[in-house]
Amino acid sequence: MGTKKAAIAATLANLSKADFESFCFHLIDSRRVPRIKVENKSYLEVTNVIVSCFTENEAPAFTSNILRNMGCSDEANDLDSRIAAISANAPTGAMGAAPGQAAVASTSSACPTGKHFVDEHKLQLIERVTNINPILLGLQDENVIQGEVYEDISYHTPGNQNKMRKIYDLALKSGTDAKDVFFKLLQKHEPYLVKDLQKK
């Protein structure tokens, strides 16, 4: 089935020369990758840079997001399909967690108080969530936030706590569906924090 890194490489390899150059421009413009690591590099070298700057789990969503922003939706969808197939065949637990994490937390978003998990534990989540970048990418991929909001929070808002406050203010006001997406992303990227809060 291959790896997520190989799926990214295959997607970049299928881009036209012009689209690949545009991808590298967007990659540099994201302010997450230094220009020197991308300019005049091959698709394999660029893939290595993306994975090293993020992780192999986070890199596909970041790559897919750039492809969509530059108008290559078909290529983004193809990458998403490759990643979904890899994840479906990988020995992972719920939400793509590593082996041993499958039973880390309950899948229920409701608390004993009747409140939604993200409402009940708002203050603790603002204080303690650190893995924010992949959560933001997930919120954008699920259309909970749009590109302008993603860029505002990701690039122009300093500090994890301030980013989390903006997620609550800008992303979760739309209702339960948005909160459910956020909860699932927390389960995926902050499983032990979710488990700890569910004990309380």
Task: Enumerate domains of the chain plus CATH numbers.
Answer: 4-89 (1.10.533.10), 100-199 (1.10.533.10)
More confident residue, 115 or 93: 115
pTM (2 decimals)?
0.50
**Confidence band for 98, pLDDT divided at 50, 70 and 90:** very low
Q: What rounded mean pLDDT belongs to the chain?
A: 82
What's the pLDDT at 36? 84
Q: What is the pLDDT of residue 166?
A: 94
Please determine, for residue 106, whether its predicted confidence score (pLDDT) is greater than 60: no
Q: Which two tokens stand for residue 185?
A: 């992303």
Backbone angles phi, psi at 60, to 5 degrees: -60, -45
pLDDT at 16 over 60: yes
Determine the pLDDT at residue 186.
92
Q: What percent of the chain has pLDDT over 90?
A: 25
Token pair, residue 44, equals 């394999």
- Model confidence pLDDT, tens digit, residues 17-58: 999 999 988 888 776 677 888 888 899 999 888 888 777 778
Length of the chain: 200
C-alpha–C-alpha distance, residues 139 and 61, integer Å: 11
Mean pLDDT of 153-161: 90
Confidence of residue 118 (pLDDT cuts 50, 70, 90): very high
Q: Residue 109 contacts by C-beta under 8 Å, 6 or more apart in sequence?
A: 116, 117, 118, 179, 180, 183
* pLDDT band of 90, cuts 50, 70, 90: low
pLDDT of the residue at 111:
67
